[in-house]
Amino acid sequence: MPPRPTPAPGQLPRPRPPPLMPVAKRPPAPWALALPAGRRARARLFLRLAAPLSFLLLVAAFLRTQPPAAPLDALPPSAGPGKVAFLFLARAGLPLDFLWDAFFRNGEEGRFSVYVHSAPGFVLDRTTTGSPYFYGRQLARAVKVAWGEPTMVQAEKMLFAAALEDPANQRFVLLSDSCVPLYNFSYTYTYLMGSPKSIVDSFTDKTEKRYNPNMSPVIRKDKWRKGSQWVMLIRKHAEVVVGDKHVFQVFRKHCKMVVTNALLGQKLVNARRLGFVFRRKQILKGAAQEEHDCIPDEHYVQTLFSIKGLEDELERRTLTYTSWNQSTLDPKDKMTWHPTTFEYDAASPEQINAIKSIDHVNYEVEHRTEWCQSNGTSVPCFLFARKFSYGAAMHLLEDGAFGLLKSAQLLVNF
């Protein structure tokens, strides 16, 4: 043992540490003594690993009970408000762009978007519209729309598809180029965003003979519906329309306009008045066939939702008021039954207020009265109206329907 060092003067000697005591080993458990040496070693290893393994198993079980994280595309696009997508079906330009410009100008940026399906090759710019809200808003791809043909539905599907690319769009309103708003932007936005249901005019009309049995089994007769093409869809239902291929293909094959030679002349006159392309050769070809007279845009969305079992998710009416000319004495003569055009005098405050006061719609063929509601609250039935001439739209604007600028000020840009 080395000699103990001598402490310095005035310093106490450091105490010697006590000797280390041997640690007593825990005696093995009785059950372990009964095992052979090799098995005892494996048992000791198992006991050492049991605790961390148990912890890992508990963590895995906890994770399995938690809801999976939402995929990136399902997360909210932003913290901002949802938008209303206004979808315009136009022949070429937008003759009432000055009225919509005033409507959007009094709106709120970031709460709406605009899409236009126009004739292929038509461009909305400073030379074709006075409203910056429409600049470049035409679809990059378009089809040549013919009245009474599936191309009308195809154009609608293209509008919905384009608007769905923006995840902020939550409501989708289909409008024609002759539609006008009846209320200001704030009221319209609150009305549309407050509705948890799509608003789709849909009913069963057993007096019509438009259903073609060749559509079965994809489209059964009990699923056949009719209604206005001017719909408002929530995002879920817009995705259903865009995603459908099967039902639309049946429409393309079996739902088409067919007229007799006796009515050919009147049909052409009405088609020209409406401004749509209507090919004479196609009409003559159809007249020689024994087919069911069918207008796709009056049946497609309604029938698709019926097939998909979505009718309980709809307000079964339309948001767009139309005045129908039913002056003919023959109720079966639909050739002279068409939407009337509102001229300047017909757009008086009294007549507009009469439209805005409508709170229910009667469906005589179903013996049903549809009371107009939004999320369980009674509301006016119509937010829009058609068909308005330039003069009628100007009258609406001059009367301050939206609390807007007077027409003389607006015409500086138009």
Q: pLDDT tier at 256 (50, 70, 90 boundaries)?
A: confident
Mean pLDDT of 231-253: 97
pTM above 0.85, yes or no: no
Question: For 327-354, how does the pLDDT look when each residue is reduced to its tens digit (9 = 90+)?
Answer: 444 545 545 567 889 999 999 999 999 9
pLDDT band at 45 (very low <50, low <70, confident <90, very high): low
Is 3 a member of any domain? no
On whether residue 325 sits in a domain, the answer given is yes
Confidence at residue 280, expressed as pLDDT on a 0 to 100 scale: 45
Give residue 281's pLDDT: 47
Q: Does the pLDDT of residue 18 top 80, yes or no?
A: no
The mean pLDDT value for 42-52 works out to 61
Please report, rounded to a whole number, the percentage of residues in the chain having pLDDT higher than 90.
57
Q: What is the pLDDT of residues 347-357, one digit of tens each?
A: 999 999 999 99
Q: What is the mean pLDDT of residues 93-122?
A: 94
Domain count, the chain: 1
What is the reported pLDDT for 109? 86
217, 337 Cβ separation under 8 angstroms:
no
pLDDT confidence of residue 261: 46
The answer to the question of residue 364 being in a domain is yes
* Domain with 369 in it: 83-262+292-399
- Phi and psi angles of residue 362, each rounded to the nearest 5 degrees, phi first: -95, 130
Across residues 230-237, what is the average pLDDT? 98
CATH of the domain at 326: 3.90.550
Structural domain includes residue 68: no
**Structure-token pair, residue 31:** 């059950």
**What is the C-alpha separation between 396 and 319, in angstroms, rounded?**
18
Judge whether residue 312 has pLDDT over 70: yes
Q: Dihedral of the CA atoms 388, 389, 390, 395 (nearest 10)?
A: -60
46 located within any domain = no
Q: pLDDT tens across 62-107, in order?
A: 444 333 333 333 334 445 689 999 999 999 899 999 999 999 998 8
Q: What is the pLDDT of residues 192-211, one digit of tens each?
A: 999 999 999 999 987 778 89
